[in-house]
Amino acid sequence: MTEHLLDLSAEEVLTTTRSVRKRLDFDRPVSRELLTDCVRVALQAPSGSNRWLTQFVIVTDADRRKALADVYRKGYEIYRKTPGYIGVVDKGDDARNANQQRTAASADYLAENMHRAPALVVACGPGRTESGPPIAKTTLMGSVLPPLWSFMLAARNRGLGTAWTTVMLFCEQEAADVLGVPNDEVTMAALTPVAFTKGTDFKPAMRPDPAEAIHWDQW
Ligand SMILES: Cc1cc2nc3c(=O)[nH]c(=O)nc-3n(C[C@H](O)[C@H](O)[C@H](O)COP(=O)(O)O)c2cc1C
């Protein structure tokens, strides 16, 4: 489906795939074909023991989107009361805090409007790792999250917007019930809305200097 590609460079895709919330076009349909094409790209990601663990639940049915969005909103209300809520995290300087407040307003907007996205995508992996060794967790998540990020990068290069979200998992069982996911056998990792974006110009975001994130030779 190369006719849908924006043909951004790899560098552009990697630096401009933002969490899109207010610029999601809720009125423009997204075809199953296009969503499937993003999954095709996603499945090129690495996978522990080459086991291809990731499963995508893609919700386009309006009633089920509404039900899932209701669970998301409930999880978001729980999240808003935690010290981790994006709107109360102090980033230490005025510019970063102003950026944080803008993101909080955008996240609040998504919580109110999640049901309007033409597709809601939940990335899942088979298995539960609560009682397993740490490597079981990192292998499962390490095999599910790269494909989801690749899905989002592929979406960006097709004019689609996404936003990585997890607060639905405060109400994990309710979300599983909506989706028919066997919650004792499958781990849901994240939910993203998918919609065409209003405009396709997105910019690199404010991020730390690389020196703040590098430990040469030892921690
Ligand atoms: C693990 C994880 C969980 C997140 N959960 C949510 C969420 O539940 N709701 C939301 O609106 N954004 C969520 N985000 C998106 C972040 O707020 C966003 O990535 C961050 O503000 C940086 O913005 P950018 O992605 O546009 O660069 C999450 C991101 C990650 C990586």
What does the angle CA 52 – CA 56 – CA 61 come to, to the nearest 5 degrees?
Answer: 160
Q: Which atom of ligand 1 is nearest to the CA of 205?
A: 27
CA-nearest of 13, 36, 4, 19 to 119 is: 36
* One-letter-per-residue 3-state SS of 146-185: HHHHHHHHHHHCCCEEECCECHHHHHHHHHHHHHCCCCCC
Q: What is the pLDDT of residues 102-151, one digit of tens each?
A: 999 999 999 999 999 999 999 999 999 999 999 999 999 999 999 999 99
Alpha carbon of residue 205 to chain centroid: 17
pLDDT at 218: 98
Average pLDDT over residues 155-181: 98
pLDDT tier, 160 (very low <50, low <70, confident <90, very high otherwise): very high
Average pLDDT over residues 189-197: 98
Share the mean pLDDT of the chain.
Answer: 96
Q: What is the pLDDT of residues 27-56, one digit of tens each?
A: 999 999 999 999 999 999 999 999 999 999
pLDDT at 15: 98
Q: What is the pLDDT of residues 61-108, one digit of tens each?
A: 999 999 999 999 999 999 999 999 988 888 888 888 888 899 999 999
pLDDT at 103: 92
The domains of the chain are located at: 2-197
Residue 206 Cβ contacting ligand 1 at under 6 Å: no
Partners of residue 194 on adjacent β-strands: 119, 162
Do 24 and 161 form a contact (C-beta atoms < 8 A)? yes
Q: How many residues does the chain have?
A: 219
Residue 164 Cβ contacting ligand 1 at under 6 Å: yes
Q: Which CATH superfamily is domain 2-197 in?
A: NADH Oxidase (3.40.109.10)
- Among 13, 16, 19, the mutation site with the greatest number of ligand 1 atoms within 8 A of its Cβ is 19
Residue 88 Cβ contacting ligand 1 at under 6 Å: no
pLDDT at 1: 67
First to last CA, the chain: 45
Question: What is the CA(48)–ligand 1 centre distance, in A?
Answer: 25
pLDDT at 97: 87
